Structure 1
Amino acid sequence: MKKRVLLAMSGGIDSSVAGMLLSEQGYEVHGVTYRTYDSVKDSCISKETGCCTVDSMMEAKRLSEKLGYEHEILDLRDSFKKTIIKNFVDEYLKGRTPNPCVVCNSDIKWGELIERANELNCDYIATGHYARIINEDGRFYLAKGIDENKDQTYFLYGLSQDDLKRTLFPLGGLKKDKIRKMAAERGFVKLSEKKESQEICFIPDNDYRRFLTDEVPEQIQEIGEGDFVLADGEKVGTHKGYPFYTIGQRKGLGVALGYPAYVVDIDAGTNTVMLGTKDDLNGAGFVVGNVNLMKYDQIPAQGLEVNIKIRYRNQGTMGRIYPDRKNLKVDLYHNASAITPGQSAVFYENDDVVGGGLILSVRH
């Protein structure tokens, strides 16, 4: 009897090729496309932008029909707004910089996928992510995708053991150029040339400040302008409101100090943004909360040596992690720049994901 797989499809090349491979491997595939947010009309180019456009959903549906499997569109706009968008806004209002893709993967995508898979009696769920799943004596964890430039494990560290044991990543052992070639060889030339979307799905213009102003105008107005200060408290300028700034930001400050100035700290309580030099951004360690462990069920008291990524495109810094009640304490062997509360820290042993969590506080 064929194993049934519920495949998350965006209409893009990765999830589409994942569907082709699963079908060829003998799985019975059922496609599903999320509608998480209403796409917006770009007045300059007169078409919808973002990942949740009607066009992208229809592309996923048409591809499913060509490959001979069922497809449905799942309307998740309400739950997406109540969880992902609310968390995004709340984090900025707390003076932190959120990572919505991480929260969406664990809370929305996998949560809804597993639930729908159960309703359809699917054995597995699948996506087009570049990652691999390792099963070591019944313990499931992620390993980086073979294509280092496309690896997406940084965004997937929040998946649970139950999530991982039900998940297939057909593209984890392939490189992007091979994926494009495979699509073309199967007659999907236009798909093989399709460009990828890089922006946050619900902010296709990449202007999060505009988004915050539109989403919570009264709160943004109430926060109002505040002070740019130096470490000694000296006021050196006026800013537009602390939610509009992120750690490490240099451009758009409108302050002349005689040297390159960077945002080095944000105090939501006093609506102050601290400026400093590039060296002032260096951090020796930090505390991580909302921890999800993958490779091991606990971190030993003496700590564990890992490579620590604090951003997606970050090569990582070697250090040690230690249990700290429900949190983890991170000691870096070498200082890292612009460690940002609200962002994710993900821990690796070579290609294996040990786990990860949200950066709560930084030690300089």
Structure 2
Amino acid sequence: MSRKGKVLVAMSGGIDSTVTALMLHHEGYEVIGITMKTWDYASSGSSTKETGCCNIDSFNDARQAAVHHGFPHFILDIREEFGDFVIENFVEEYLAGRTPNPCVMCNTHIKWRALLKRANALGCDYIATGHYAEIRQHTNGRYVISKGLDETKDQSYVLWGLDQELLGRTMMPLGGYRKSAIRQMAMDMGYPELAKKSESYEICFVPDNDYRGFLKRRVDGLEEQVNGGWFVDKNGKKLGQHKGYPFYTIGQRKGLDIAMGHPVYVTSINPTTNTVVLGDKSDLEQNDMMVGKLNWIKYDGVTDGMEANTRIRYKDKGALSNLYNEPNGIIRARFYENVKSIAPGQSAVFYEGNDVIGGGIIQRGELILNG
């Protein structure tokens, strides 16, 4: 038994998780590798070749690294757990006219819980992942997620849903490194093929990156049910027919198949009437937002008026806002300046410097006129 402890490392077969496992192994931890199978590509109906984290080559890469360095490796099938929650939520959100973030839902409700359950069964002190973020214990005793050193790879945004129990057991060794350093480590450890391996940014269960096709295959008769709805302007004037409200997202400009003589954007979606509102770029601007389904990390809540840098999408740099408590566990974020394309269903994550205060799911956005 290692004096440093026993750690269960989530290994996808990619560079980040492999370097994480080998780094901890070399530091003297007793490492057990585990690869989670979340999705069966054959059942997606897509003809695209398997890519990313759930294909047999990735499983083999993870296992070979573990065997070569003499630590155990297991494959964990969580397809049923994953499908029941993540995929059903994904479909339901689009059918409700919202834009979901399945990676957040998976991290929050499936992957970490599955890891912790197996870590407990195997007598592991910790679980570890290859995310570019950092975890530390604050002076108030709470565990805090902070941005990774490499802001181009920072993944703190998708981790806002992890609760204190999970954070207290989690290690993220890559948070203090830049991606270039991790690639060099892979080379130095004898894995040049990993250093050159391309990264996948698609949703794991939508291998062709075509969520519209996935929805059509997943929901029988969906296309017939929603086809022929109307594009309308902000005053309700009909502009032309569309292919069905679930196939559009807030801020979308391309692929609308409607000629207006000038650029138009999706500004809101109404599933009840199967209408999609189009407007100018300026119509996407809002400065007030309601956020629910909250999880607090750095503190156990916020005081009214607290300032935060609020991010409304993964690659968003964020915008300064004040946070206010509303009834029924809702937070109102009031931005100092207008922001574009607030999309219900997406995550809002609140930052204090590099630290995640907490986050939640955007319920709605609106434009509040000052004065």
Query: Shorter-chain-normalised TM-score: which range?
Result: over 0.9
2:277 to 271, 274, 278: 274
2:120 to 83, 106, 118: 118
Match for 1:160: what amino acid? Answer: D
Q: What is the CA distance between 1:42 and its match in structure 2?
A: 7.4
Distance 1:332 1:70 in 2: 49
Match for 2:92: what amino acid? Answer: D
Q: What is the CA distance between 1:191 and its match in structure 2?
A: 1.3
- What residue in structure 2 maps to residue 233 of structure 1? 236
Corresponding position: 1:294 with 2:297: yes
Distance 1:340 1:43, change over 3 A: closer
1:6 to 5, 8, 11: 8
Matches within 5 A, 1:80-91: 80-91=82-93
1:150 to 147, 150, 153: 153
**Post-superposition, which runs of at least 4 consecutive aligned residues in structure 1 deviate over 6 A?**
none
Match for 1:27: what amino acid? Answer: Y
TM-score, L = length of structure 1 = 0.97
2:351 to 348, 351, 361: 348
Corresponding position: 1:135 with 2:151: no
Q: What is the CA distance between 1:223 and its match in structure 2?
A: 2.5
- Checking the alignment, whether the CA contact within 8 Å between 1:110 and 1:163 is kept in structure 2 is yes
- What residue in structure 2 maps to residue 363 of structure 1? 366
More divergent stretch after superposition (59-68 vs 172-181): 59-68
Distance 2:221 2:238 in 1: 26
- What residue in structure 1 maps to residue 188 of structure 2? 185
Q: What is the CA distance between 1:38 and its match in structure 2?
A: 1.1
Matches within 5 A, 1:302-341: 302-325=304-327, 326-341=329-344
Q: What is the CA distance between 1:43 and its match in structure 2?
A: 5.3
Deviations 1:236-292 (A, max 9, x none): 000000000000000111112222110000000000000000000001111000101
1:26 to 25, 28, 50: 28
- Checking the alignment, whether the CA contact within 8 Å between 1:39 and 1:50 is kept in structure 2 is no
Deviations 1:313-364 (A, max 9, x none): 1111101111113010010000000000000010111101001100001112
Match for 1:354: what amino acid? Answer: I
Matched residue count? 361
Structure 2: stretches of 5+ with no match in the other structure: none
Distance 1:98 1:235 in 2: 27
Q: What is the CA distance between 1:54 and its match in structure 2?
A: 1.0
2:257 to 254, 273, 294: 254
Distance 1:76 1:331, change over 3 A: same
Q: What is the CA distance between 1:76 and its match in structure 2?
A: 0.7
- Checking the alignment, whether the CA contact within 8 Å between 1:124 and 1:166 is kept in structure 2 is yes
Match for 1:253: what amino acid? Answer: L
Which SS does the other structure have where 2:176 is aligned? coil
- What residue in structure 1 maps to residue 169 of structure 2? 166
Which SS does the other structure have where 2:212 is aligned? helix
Which SS does the other structure have where 2:315 is aligned? coil
More divergent stretch after superposition (252-261 vs 234-243): 252-261
Distance 2:47 2:154 in 1: 34
Q: Percent identity?
A: 52
Distance 1:298 1:111 in 2: 23
Distance 2:250 2:209 in 1: 17
Deviations 1:64-88 (A, max 9, x none): 1112110111111111110000000
Deviations 1:169-202 (A, max 9, x none): 0101011000000110111111111111111111
Distance 2:84 2:223 in 1: 19
Q: What is the CA distance between 1:219 and its match in structure 2?
A: 3.5
- Checking the alignment, whether the CA contact within 8 Å between 1:39 and 1:49 is kept in structure 2 is no
More divergent stretch after superposition (34-43 vs 6-15): 34-43
TM-score, L = length of structure 2 = 0.95
Structure 1: stretches of 5+ with no match in the other structure: none
Match for 1:38: what amino acid? Answer: D
Distance 1:219 1:323 in 2: 38
Match for 1:332: what amino acid? Answer: F
Match for 2:289: what amino acid? Answer: F
Which SS does the other structure have where 1:257 is aligned? coil
Deviations 1:283-321 (A, max 9, x none): 111100010111111111x32101010111111110111
Match for 1:194: what amino acid? Answer: K
